[in-house]
Amino acid sequence: MRLGVLLVLVLALLCVGTLVAAIAGSLAVLLVGRVIQGVAGGIFPLAFGIIRDEFPRERVAGGIGLMSALLGVGAGAGFVLAGPIADNLSYHYLFWLPLIPIVAATVLTHLFIPESPVRVPGQVNWLAAVLMSAGLVLVLVAVSQASSWHWLSAKTLGCIAAGVVLLALWVRVETRARQPLVDMRMMRLRGVWTTNLVALLLGFGMYATFFLLPQFVETNGKGYGFNASVTGAGLFMLPSTMAMLIFGSQTGRLEKRFGSKPPLIAGSALALLSFLVLAFAHDQKWEVFVAGALLGAGVGLAFAAMANLIIENVGPAETGVATGMNTVTRTIGGSFGGAATASLLAGTVVAGSDIPTEHGYTLAFALCAGVLVVGLFVGFLIPQRRPEAAFAAHAVGDLD
């Protein structure tokens, strides 16, 4: 199926899922809507593929960089806007209001987005899809519930073990398939697996922040925090969101001159610095704002560079799968980050209270910093490519 048609289909399903969530009168219906919304994960890989095939070669890096930055900007903007909407309206409007631009985007995409000329034969490997999905679900459920189940409980370890077994079977099926869902030979490329590992580790830190910072700034009377409202907590995320957009949009220019690896390393270093600031200096509001801006700048640079690094190492027909797996890896890292820091905070809650200690937050921020140290080291292992060779011209296929 053509990429443009798939993109419109994904957006249409996103509209349906958002509508279902908006009118939900029960938790079950709301969950159904959120499941349908999950198809939105396919937007970015499809968009990356169209950008690579349609943009002039000199504009590919910038276009992909901006798209990647918007992924983080959207997440940050959601935290900033959710507070005022929830405080003044109801949770239903958290879905009604986004539905308006989503519908507009669907129509505009159908009317104006050019179709990708690249065609490759193939079909969906349903067995591989089921094994991968089930394996990831089991692992992510275990990680997300670890704070209540406990990391060494039979439930947690059993889910993780079952998930790992299914993922191992998935890899085995993929390596033997004539038309694999994900080409394991591609995933073994040094430029691909190192970039995905950085995505996993950077996602750990970024998504942990979405959990840690709002809870931290809303705390009061425990020797830390600023007694912020839900709306006020969202404003603490604003510097991060703005820096993410500004720096992410400039990554394309940097990559033209230096290649994609230096911006990724610089972004990882800035993100690491932000967590060091949070770990050792979080008594004043301006310190949290500075840390947020550093994190946003780092994530904006790194996320934009990651997408380009993946695309530089795969063929045009593999762009969607490769960038999709990078996005999934980033999300898995975020799930681990949120669960690990939640468990760490839960372990510092004093008996008779439900609020973690300041030391718990310091440990959580330090844990994220430690993870990003590893991410920075892995970043240096990514192969360096000359900027002018990043997106070599390719032959356009004509197969359906």
Q: Got the DSSP string for 18-46? A: HHHHHT--SHHHHHHHHHHHGGGGGHHHH
Residue 361, classified by CB atoms within 10 Å of its CB into exposed (0-12), middle (13-18) or buried (19+), is buried
Give residue 155's domain range. 125-180
Q: What is the number of domains present in the chain?
A: 2
Same domain (yes/no): 228, 374: yes
Question: Within a domain: residue 219?
Answer: yes
Question: Within a domain: residue 83?
Answer: yes
For residue 218, the surrounding DSSP H or E stretch is: helix 190-218
Question: Within a domain: residue 103?
Answer: yes
> Which runs of E-coded beta strand occur in 106-187?
none
Question: Within a domain: residue 399?
Answer: no
Residues counted in the chain: 400
Whole-angstrom distance, CA of residue 239 vs CA of residue 301: 15
pLDDT for residue 120: 60
Amino acid sitting at position 282 = H
Read off the pLDDT of residues 379-396 as tens digits, 9 standing for 90 and up: 999 887 655 555 554 443
Longest dimension (CA), the chain: 68
Same domain (yes/no): 188, 320: yes
Domain boundary among 157, 180, 203: 180
pLDDT for residue 146: 74
Name the more confident of 81 and 65. Answer: 81
Read off the pLDDT of residues 94-109 as tens digits, 9 standing for 90 and up: 888 888 988 998 888 8
Question: Within a domain: residue 149?
Answer: yes
Same domain (yes/no): 136, 229: no
Same domain (yes/no): 289, 190: yes
384-387-391-393 Cα dihedral, nearest 10 degrees: -120
Instruction: Find tokens 């440990």 and name the residue.
Output: 363
Per the prediction, the chain carries an average pLDDT of 81
Give the list of residues 6+ apart from residue 127 with CB closer than 8 angstroms, or none: 173
Read off the pLDDT of residues 189-231 as tens digits, 9 standing for 90 and up: 888 889 999 999 988 888 788 778 888 888 886 788 888 887 7
Same domain (yes/no): 9, 147: no
> pLDDT band at residue 2, thresholds of 50, 70 and 90?
low
Same domain (yes/no): 101, 215: yes
Whole-angstrom distance, CA of residue 375 vs CA of residue 201: 6
Question: Within a domain: residue 371?
Answer: yes
pLDDT for residue 119: 61
Give the list of residues 6+ apart from residue 358 with CB closer than 8 angstroms, or none: 222, 223, 224
> pLDDT band at residue 122, thresholds of 50, 70 and 90?
low
| Sign of the C-alpha dihedral computed for residues 16, 19, 20 and 21 taken in this order | positive
- 55: domain CATH number is 1.20.1250.20
Q: The tokens of 187 are what?
A: 């995933």
